[in-house]
Structure 1
Amino acid sequence: MRHSVEGSGTPTPVVSVGPVTLPAPDRGDDLQVRVSAPATGSDLPVIVFSHGFGWSMNGYAPLVDYWAAHGFVVVQPTHLDSRTLNVTPDDARYPDIWRLRVADLRQVLDELDLIEAAVPGLRGRLDQSRVAVAGHSWGGQTASMLLGARVLRDGVPGEDLSDSRVKAGVLLATTGTGGADLSPFAAEHFPFMSPSFSDMTTPALVIAGDRDDSPLSVRGPDWFTDPYHLSPGPKSLLTLFGAEHSLGGITGWTVTETTDESPDRVALIQQLTCAYLRSALCPTDAGWAAASAELIDHPGVLGRIDSK
């Protein structure tokens, strides 16, 4: 089959539709998603994106718009922790929000036909055999579960929530191990933040900032490299110099919580994630090999790449 995303090419106009509502009677609130797609092209691969804590399907335009303009269909669910839903800690669902987040991504995969039909002009253009997940911050942990990561309970890995439909992942500023590495606040409020990456076998690109000093951990910025170092290959790690948790501004243009605004850094993330996912979902594509080799040979001031 001839795929339509062999190279980066010229950006294509993007169609974005939301909310698309997926019935979820057992969830308490129906699942709402935003779908962004190139206006033209066929056999389009899919990225399911999990937002960080408090965000929604309407965030992360710098990444989503770029991916869609370069040949991907991006589906963004709004998780129950979104500020738009106001689910508070006294809600009975709150202790299981981390698990419900994973269920949201799986529901998107289950209902890609419905999603495709809900977007005018998209029917028949998806390649559902080429699916990736991506996520930022807590969304990175959510996405990692579909790649094979598990949550430890009393030191024992919990259930396997991986999904064979997912062929690759991008984990942006994704939290590391729990236990003694957590701050007292995180240990008290986020006991599920205790992942094991030893079974995360699906290929992934991990992106971490070397100044992402999180109040959730006592370790420092290297905590966010755990998904790379503690998982089996094939994996790649993009370490961004000078980057904090927003990695230069991936959550949105002129977002006030971005403390390390850097258009150059965001552009690098756009280009490298796009190249990585094209190559991961289409093995004949050599874009990632070329892009990563260029950064390895000329690391400059933005970052470096390690692979295994």
Structure 2
Amino acid sequence: MRCLCWLFWLALFPTAAHAASPITLCEGVWLDATRSRSVPVRIRMPAGREKVGVILFSHGLGGSLDAGTIWAHAWAEGGFAVVNVQHEGSDSAIFGKPGFKSALNGEQLAARARDIQFVIGELGRRLLEGPCDLQRIDLNRIGVAGHSFGAQTIQAIAGQSFPVKIEPPLSDPRLRAAVGLSPSPPLTGSPESAFATIRIPFLSITGTADAVPFVTPITALQRQQPFRLMPPGEKYLLVLKDGTHEMFAGQLFRTTLNGEPTPHIRNTVIATTLAFWYATLGHDKRALQWLQSPTGLRAGLPPGDFFESK
């Protein structure tokens, strides 16, 4: 089945969608001396010499720099610098070990948020990472995205509040927008209080089959809760029929069973997120109208999918 929203988006943004310009790929391991912590990064820089906005991506529990590859590549082709961040203590090194699910905790969440804050700071301090010219990054146009535990990380960075005051805060005023793929209720405390303080533009993406009961009891319906409880103001919710948790990781797996996204889910996530980034980091009025108009994105979705905004 063709995705009508994808075709409509191609008509609005043909240059970005078809450019497929060469992407410079760089990797490094940055040391946060204040925490004695190494933070691996993978950077994708779009072609050109002009200033570009930047998107940081946080992987889920047991993930790595490979998480979000599909999304990161599309965003870089769309004209953004993209930085995948790997989080020690909740990355692939723990996957398959006894008790690995215990890493899904507040301490690791805070460490992850500090990783994102650290990388943002380094992007403003470093000139180069290999052949990647970091001086091209416009630090006035910073977005963050994440999947699963990475989405919880993004929620914290975007302004989520916690039952116990955390100093310094996990939220970061340098951010302009956030995308949560498979977002979640808070680990502890009141969901109403947690999400009432997220005021920046936020796009939540989930599916009707977005659950991993062997890891967490969070249901697919509960993944809509962050959107429902955030205050109005450029908040969006995309729900895709039959979308599984693994599909939203945006990763290339060896097997396709419930792993890589279907063409429809892949194209719809790419189209929606790029429009969101253009609207929030690029101040593109056409993209904003496509997201918010009844005749825009929601009008092109097939039965079973739905999109809301407030």
Output the TM-score relative to the length of structure 1. Answer: 0.82
Which residue pairs with 2:209 in the alignment? 211
CA shift, 1:111, in A, is: 0.8
Query: Does residue 60 of structure 2 align to residue 45 of structure 1?
Result: no
Alignment match of 1:34 (pick from 42, 53, 74)? 42
The aligned runs of 1:229-308 (5 Å cut-off) are 229-234=228-233, 235-247=235-247, 250-254=250-254, 258-259=258-259, 261-290=261-290, 293-301=295-303, 303-308=305-310
The aligned runs of 1:145-224 (5 Å cut-off) are 145-153=156-164, 160-178=169-187, 196-215=194-213, 218=217, 220-224=219-223
Which deviations, in whole Å up to 9, do the C-alpha atoms of 1:257-289 show, x marking residues without a partner? 734741221111011101101111122442242
Q: Relative to structure 1, is the Cα distance of residues 271 and 132 closer, same or farther in structure 2, using a 3 angstrom cutoff? A: same
Q: Relative to structure 1, is the Cα distance of residues 122 and 85 closer, same or farther in structure 2, using a 3 angstrom cutoff? A: farther
CA distance in 2, matches of 1:237, 1:99: 25
CA distance in 2, matches of 1:118, 1:131: 18
CA distance in 2, matches of 1:248, 1:23: 29
Greater helix share, 1 or 2?
Answer: 2
| 4+ aligned runs moved over 3 Å, structure 1 | 25-29, 84-92, 113-116, 157-160, 177-181, 216-219, 253-261
Which deviations, in whole Å up to 9, do the C-alpha atoms of 1:228-247 show, x marking residues without a partner? 01111220101111111123
CA distance in 2, matches of 1:302, 1:254: 28
- SS at 1:166's partner residue? coil
Q: Is the 8 A contact 2:152 2:186 kept in 1?
A: no
Q: Relative to structure 1, is the Cα distance of residues 301 and 130 closer, same or farther in structure 2, using a 3 angstrom cutoff? A: same
Q: Relative to structure 1, is the Cα distance of residues 123 and 180 closer, same or farther in structure 2, using a 3 angstrom cutoff? A: closer
Q: Relative to structure 1, is the Cα distance of residues 252 and 289 closer, same or farther in structure 2, using a 3 angstrom cutoff? A: farther
Q: Is the 8 A contact 1:248 1:262 kept in 2?
A: no
- SS at 1:306's partner residue? strand
Q: Is the 8 A contact 1:22 1:31 kept in 2?
A: yes
CA distance in 2, matches of 1:266, 1:105: 25
Alignment match of 1:82 (pick from 91, 105, 128)? 91
Q: Relative to structure 1, is the Cα distance of residues 242 and 223 closer, same or farther in structure 2, using a 3 angstrom cutoff? A: same
CA shift, 1:59, in A, is: 2.5
Q: Relative to structure 1, is the Cα distance of residues 180 and 166 closer, same or farther in structure 2, using a 3 angstrom cutoff? A: closer
Q: Relative to structure 1, is the Cα distance of residues 180 and 84 closer, same or farther in structure 2, using a 3 angstrom cutoff? A: closer
Q: Relative to structure 1, is the Cα distance of residues 35 and 141 closer, same or farther in structure 2, using a 3 angstrom cutoff? A: same
Q: Relative to structure 1, is the Cα distance of residues 238 and 132 closer, same or farther in structure 2, using a 3 angstrom cutoff? A: same
Which residue pairs with 2:8 in the alignment? none
Segments of structure 2 that go 5 or more residues without pairing to the other structure are 1-12
Query: Does residue 16 of structure 2 align to residue 12 of structure 1?
Result: no
Which residue pairs with 2:79 in the alignment? 71
Q: Relative to structure 1, is the Cα distance of residues 257 and 198 closer, same or farther in structure 2, using a 3 angstrom cutoff? A: farther
CA distance in 2, matches of 1:122, 1:179: 41
Q: Is the 8 A contact 1:178 1:194 kept in 2?
A: no
Segments of structure 1 that go 5 or more residues without pairing to the other structure are 182-192
Q: Relative to structure 1, is the Cα distance of residues 77 and 151 closer, same or farther in structure 2, using a 3 angstrom cutoff? A: same
CA distance in 2, matches of 1:197, 1:180: 11
Which deviations, in whole Å up to 9, do the C-alpha atoms of 1:82-132 show, x marking residues without a partner? 12478987999x862111100000001111034541142524321111000
CA shift, 1:163, in A, is: 1.0
Output the TM-score relative to the length of structure 2. Answer: 0.81
Q: Please identify, of 76-85 and 63-72, the stretch whose mean Cα deviation from structure 2 is larger.
A: 76-85
Query: Does residue 131 of structure 2 align to residue 133 of structure 1?
Result: no
Per chain length, whose mean CA-contact separation is higher, i.e. which structure has more relative contact order (CA < 8 Å, sep 6+)? Answer: 2
- The one-letter code matched in structure 2 to 1:280 is T
- SS at 1:247's partner residue? helix
CA shift, 1:174, in A, is: 1.2
CA distance in 2, matches of 1:206, 1:24: 30
Q: Relative to structure 1, is the Cα distance of residues 294 and 44 closer, same or farther in structure 2, using a 3 angstrom cutoff? A: same
